[in-house]
Structure 1
Amino acid sequence: SYRQLVLIAISHDAPLQAGGWQFKFKDKRNSILKNYADLHSEIQNLEQMRIIEDSNRGFSLGGSSAPLRLSLFGQTIFDELDLASVPEEDKQLVIQMISKVNNA
């Protein structure tokens, strides 16, 4: 999805602060998280494809609370698709969504 491309662009600039979400999203009582289930799914998909990975240990599928960084494969995608051209406002929108989940 386009948002996944934006997530790749964001993680090129700095690690995604989305580690450990697997545990956060298991809490069914938090209604705020329901609004961001699709974002969580997209991040999980990027991890499964090994485009982003745990910044401490590599591939983790969201089990660690460490930030998620771009893998070598992700860097290749970033370069080949010229994701440096992703508009800053699109990146800021997704960063705000990540922040809302982290604060939920």
Structure 2
Amino acid sequence: MSGINDREKGFENKFAHDQELEFKAAARRNKLLGLWAAELMGLDGEAAAEYAKSVIVADFEEAGDDDVFRKVRGDLDARNVDLSDHLLRKQMDDLLATARQQIQAEG
């Protein structure tokens, strides 16, 4: 019976580890997205860093990526940056892949 419990505990630990990595990847993606969007809006230096932080915080409004998408979409629209929803979502997907690679390389 101990073997089954050990195996179950191993699955639980792997799941928790995977969830932690995914949380870190999403946070890093949001930072990268914020810096990318800041550049499109003409922000640099401290203003770009602050904007990236605001994108990270936006992700805590609700589960999923829609809160981040809405924030960045609204900010780009407010600055008259011409970018389709499709390209914004593609950039979000691409940056999530980049963030995952970066985190795996660090681990």
Name the TM-score, length of structure 1 as normaliser. Answer: 0.31
Relative contact order (C-alpha < 8 Å, sep 6+): which is higher? 1
More helix by share: 2
Name the TM-score, length of structure 2 as normaliser. Answer: 0.31
